[in-house]
Amino acid sequence: MGFALSALQVRSNAFGPHQPIPVRHTGEGDDIAPPIHWTGAPEGTQGFAVICHDPDAPLVSPGSYGFVHWVYYNIPGDVTALDEGSEAYTHGVTDFGKQTYGGPMPPEGHGVHHYYFWVLALDQSLHLEPGLTLWQFLDQVEPHVIGMNRLIGTYER
């Protein structure tokens, strides 16, 4: 399928589409991952992954795009929700250099940033090793993506 939006629907009880992300889920607050849930996974889904990315962020290094706040994978295909602060599955490395969720913390005065919480539906349960960067993760999962969609939240300092 490649990276095209599907009928998968992504929601959070913490914020709505294009609505502000509560401070609790940011670097200025408790820095805890928001609850995320999804419906409408494609038939044949065997696993999921979640990514949070801020395309409005200044470039971190040459060749990068925005800022990676969460790379979370090895989520079984029968899971349809992540509780607030979920730690049950495997973390990759964020652009903070940590293997955990890192909440929004845009530069002060930089304006509103948009945070894309992507859910990827995979045709296999991949059992990937911890600590992958976003690009390492995407290299391994791209051939297995059968559906994807996102929830976009905002934050401004």
**The pLDDT value given to residue 147:** 94
pLDDT digits over 90-108, tens only? 999 999 999 999 999 998 9
pLDDT digits over 3-54, tens only? 667 899 999 999 999 999 999 999 999 999 999 999 999 999 999 999 999 9
**Calpha distance 145→119 (Å, rounded):** 10
CATH top class, domain 9-155: alpha beta
3-state SS, 34-71, equals: CCEEEECCCCCCCEEEEEEEECCCCCCCCCCCCEEEEE
**The pLDDT value given to residue 59:** 67
Edge-to-edge strands, sheet with 113-122: 19-20, 145-155, 113-122, 47-54, 67-76, 90-91
Per-domain residue ranges of the chain:
9-155
